[in-house]
Amino acid sequence: MPLRVHPRGRQELPLRGIFAVRTPNRPNRIGKATVRLIEIDDNILKVKGLDALDGSPVIDIKPYIPGYDSVDEASVPPWITSR
């Protein structure tokens, strides 16, 4: 598995590390999602906004912490917004 790819598969863009881009070709399939907790029923959590297949394992659950789970003044490299 290559550890560097062209962002968005565009050959004219420089190679970047796979952890810096959103390629599906990653050495691990772990993802992170911030969701809204709708209901707690014993040991079952019902959430809204989870982008996962039904039956996907959940490895860890953390509380939402403003400023840690979101970045107000985030910047991105130009290749993120260029077409």
Q: Residue 2: what pLDDT?
A: 82
The model's pTM = 0.49
pLDDT digits (tens, 9 = 90+) for 14-30: 999 888 887 777 777 67
Handedness of CA 13, 17, 19, 24 (dihedral sign): positive
Tell me the residue length of the chain.
83
Q: Which residues contact 61 (CB under 8 A, 6 or more apart)?
A: 45
**Low-confidence stretches of the chain (pLDDT beneath 50):** none
